[in-house]
Structure 1
Amino acid sequence: MPDRALEGIRVIEFTDETGAYCGRLLADLGAEVIKVEPPGGGRLRHARPFVKGHEGDPNASLAFWAHNTSKKSVVLDLETPEGREFARRLAEAADAVIEDNPVGYLAERGLGYEQLRAANPRLVYTSITGFGQDGPHAGWAYSDIVGQAMGGIMTLAGEPADPPNSIYGRQADVSASIQAAQGTLIALLHAEATGEGQLVDVSAQEALSMAQETAMQTWDFQRRNRVRTGELGMLPIPLPATGVAKCKDGYVSLYILAPAGKELPDLVDWMREKGLQGPLDDEPYRSIVGKLNMAWLTQLMSDPAAAGEVIPHLPVISKTILDFFATMTAREAYEEGQHRQLLIGIVSTPKDIAENAQLRARDWFVRIESPLGDSIEFPGPPYRLSETPAVIARPPRLGEHTDEILAALR
């Protein structure tokens, strides 16, 4: 049994921003992923932020690091006959090719699926584009923000009064890469069983549309567009103990009215222990608190008369709860709340993640060599395999393996 899940698999990667994370997922699992880069490096090599003091260095882009661990780097100019020839020979001998170029770009250079499979029928060829290999939008320009917009996520992100929001990070690119890695692995299993490779056609628009959850079904079955709800959620009123609460040093997220964990009376018990229950022991607040949860609220909202008697009292309950959380740190609120089985989470900053006791206890962070030569701490893999674990190695320096790999082809 191999020490790594994908040990012995060779992948040739012609990707930049959209598909690089796909290659990283395979490389961390043990595949030999050879990244073919243009002279000077691609866009991601030059993307901010950089390691402090190394601005503009193609080996110091944190964005590149995050998407390119455990790979090898070969510099080839695909606009030259020699570069195309070396790339073709590498690809024809591979188990898989990953590419995220515009439709037809590699085929025009002799590196398309049909051209390569003629020499290697077992080849798995994964193409990651904005809109897929066919259809009226196949050749349209794409970037991550276009993927977020066309995938439907932006219209659901933010407050109702806002314009559509893009969500942080390259979420369309990452979603496409995750689906591409999954499709590549399925195709490799098929190739191993049958000797037949195939084309894996991944659309970033389709990959991110999956993250809408029930939004598409709401239109299909109700002919109603889901819209941005922001902090309020599905019910169009501010709800006590639901949403973000400010603490002394940050924020916690509350969802105590949800059908999980203990309920609102248990929170008020905690407040009472601190002498901070305010008017919540008085009527009508005491009676409302005793039955206030999502199921009761949903039923209440179907009865306008009953709702009209309750809703005017909710702001006082909300303010009393928010005042309570303002007396403690976010960590105190989170840890004591979880001890009481209340659904509370810290709104984590990157610093909070780096110091998170759960992640530290599980040794999630790993220490690897930096492409700049020193040692760095890096986020760990997104899964734990007990027998064939993922192992993260540093990202490659630009062209670091060119001589070694091309020498084997000469």
Structure 2
Amino acid sequence: MTNSALTHLKVLDLSWHIAGPYCTKILADYGAEVIKVERPETGDPSRAAGPFKNNEENLNASGLFAYLNNNKQSITLDLKSEQSIRIIKQLVKGMDLLVENFAPGVMKRLGLDYETLKAINPKLVMVSISNFGQQGEFAHYKATEIITQAMSGFLSSVGEPHREPVRAAGQLRILEYITGTFAASSALAACRAARVSGIGAHLDISIAEMGLLQRSYPTVQNSYPTSVFKYEGRYVMLPGIEQCKDGHVGISVLTGQHWQGFCFMIEAYDWVEDERFTTLPQRLIHKDIFQERLDAFLMEHTTEEVLALGNEWRVPVTLVPTFEDLLSLDQYVEREFFVEVNHSELGIMKQPGAPFRMSKTPWSIRTSAPLLGEHNEKTLKAFYDKSTQI
């Protein structure tokens, strides 16, 4: 069997919820050995989040946990116990990477701060994920995604200008997945450096700052107070998501070439050089006139007809499929993006597949997400049998 890309990487995962587990999921799915430490009896809170098969709550059958924790081993330790802390320190000796997302200061109070752990394993890379980072006025504030979105500029820049701000991506906790991706890539860079130099590192990753990284356009835009490109405070596309005869389509008009094609597509030939509509700021000023004519055209056509016209005139147009539609969409079926995972409690379920394709050392699901404490005997038996040596 071909080795995976990260076969020799050993990871101790003290994280929970989404950001940290998504980081270690990426590593595990490319071959890393990940030992996940969970609370006894309750485990990772995502075990209680569902969705559950037949809506029956089961800590070993959460769809969210199952997605985030394929290819990992689960052990349970009470980190308030001195014995458990000794076990963690013993495990750290054989690890390349430790990932945690406790509130700043918790690891130090547990006696597991980076300074302590690097004395045990100088090559250890430790990733600390938190809402606002390890320092600063907000470091110890409690936060949920709506707070980190607000503090990264998402809320102030999403939604219609005349209405209240809108939470980006609903309740999908998009910033946590973004953070997990950045955490995985930065951890790999640090592990590579540690293998060369023999010296590990402590990575401080802020969820709010990862959100700000996605906001480069308004950051630069607002660096220049006199910029002529300041819009109404929120980014608005016109057209955007639009109603057709039988559903919705997304239309994006970004360049002069797109604008000409768009005018031909909706048979508005007199608009091709009409300065009221050729740029987005002008379309926003005259949006009532623009929208009325566009609506009249779209309500005479189906989504499939609009999609075909967009392809004909090379205008970016898309359907707006539901998740149920996406699971059987030809594009994703042909690329085998969605994968089936057979879980002992959930049965066969579909999950998103590889985030990127590697030809020689591919992504794979080797084992489904573990049951709570499934690997206690395998991993911890030796420690408890020889506890005096810990």
Q: 2:364 aligns with which of 375, 382, 391?
A: 391
Residue 205 in structure 1 maps to residue 208 in structure 2: yes
Unaligned runs of 5+ in 2: none
1:323-334 matched pairs, under 5 angstroms:
323-324=299-300, 327-328=301-302, 330-334=303-307
User: What SS does the corresponding residue of 1:146 show, helix, strand or coil?
Assistant: helix
The answer (yes or no) to whether the contact 1:10–1:33 under 8 Å persists in 2 is yes
The answer (yes or no) to whether the contact 1:218–1:226 under 8 Å persists in 2 is no
Higher alpha-carbon deviation: 259-268 or 115-124 = 259-268
Moved beyond 6 Å, runs of 4+: 223-226, 299-302
The answer (yes or no) to whether the contact 1:92–1:117 under 8 Å persists in 2 is no
Aligned-partner Cα distance in 1 for 2:47–2:223:
42
1:73 is matched by which residue type in structure 2?
S
TM-score (norm 1): 0.83
Aligned-partner Cα distance in 2 for 1:44–1:206:
23
Aligned-partner Cα distance in 1 for 2:26–2:184:
7
TM-score (norm 2): 0.87
The answer (yes or no) to whether the contact 2:132–2:208 under 8 Å persists in 1 is yes
**1:51-73 Cα distance to aligned partner (Å, 9 max, x none):** 2242x211222222232222111
The answer (yes or no) to whether the contact 1:36–1:74 under 8 Å persists in 2 is yes
Change (3 A) 1:298 1:35: closer
1:196-275 matched pairs, under 5 angstroms:
196-222=199-225, 229=234, 232-233=236-237, 239=238, 242-256=239-253, 258-259=255-256, 263-268=261-266
1:11-410 matched pairs, under 5 angstroms:
11-17=11-17, 18-39=19-40, 40-54=42-56, 56-167=57-168, 168=170, 169-222=172-225, 229=234, 232-233=236-237, 239=238, 242-256=239-253, 258-259=255-256, 263-268=261-266, 280=268, 286-288=269-271, 290-291=272-273, 296-297=278-279, 314-324=290-300, 327-328=301-302, 330-335=303-308, 337-372=310-345, 374-392=347-365, 393-409=367-383, 410=386
Higher alpha-carbon deviation: 134-143 or 145-154 = 134-143
1:124 CA displacement: 0.4
The answer (yes or no) to whether the contact 1:367–1:378 under 8 Å persists in 2 is yes
Q: Which of structures 1 and 2 has the bigger CA Rg?
A: 1
**1:259-285 Cα distance to aligned partner (Å, 9 max, x none):** 4657124314xxxxxxxx6xx5xxxxx
Aligned-partner Cα distance in 1 for 2:304–2:256:
23
Aligned-partner Cα distance in 1 for 2:282–2:349:
54
Aligned-partner Cα distance in 2 for 1:12–1:368:
24
Change (3 A) 1:196 1:257: closer
**1:339-388 Cα distance to aligned partner (Å, 9 max, x none):** 55331111221112112111111111111112415222221111111111
1:297 CA displacement: 3.0
Aligned-partner Cα distance in 1 for 2:283–2:329:
39
Change (3 A) 1:213 1:294: farther
Aligned-partner Cα distance in 2 for 1:8–1:317:
61
User: What SS does the corresponding residue of 1:201 show, helix, strand or coil?
Assistant: strand
1:135 CA displacement: 2.0
CA RMSD of aligned residues (A): 2.7
Aligned-partner Cα distance in 2 for 1:100–1:376:
28
Aligned-partner Cα distance in 2 for 1:114–1:226:
47
Unaligned runs of 5+ in 1: 234-238, 269-276, 281-285
1:209 is matched by which residue type in structure 2?
L
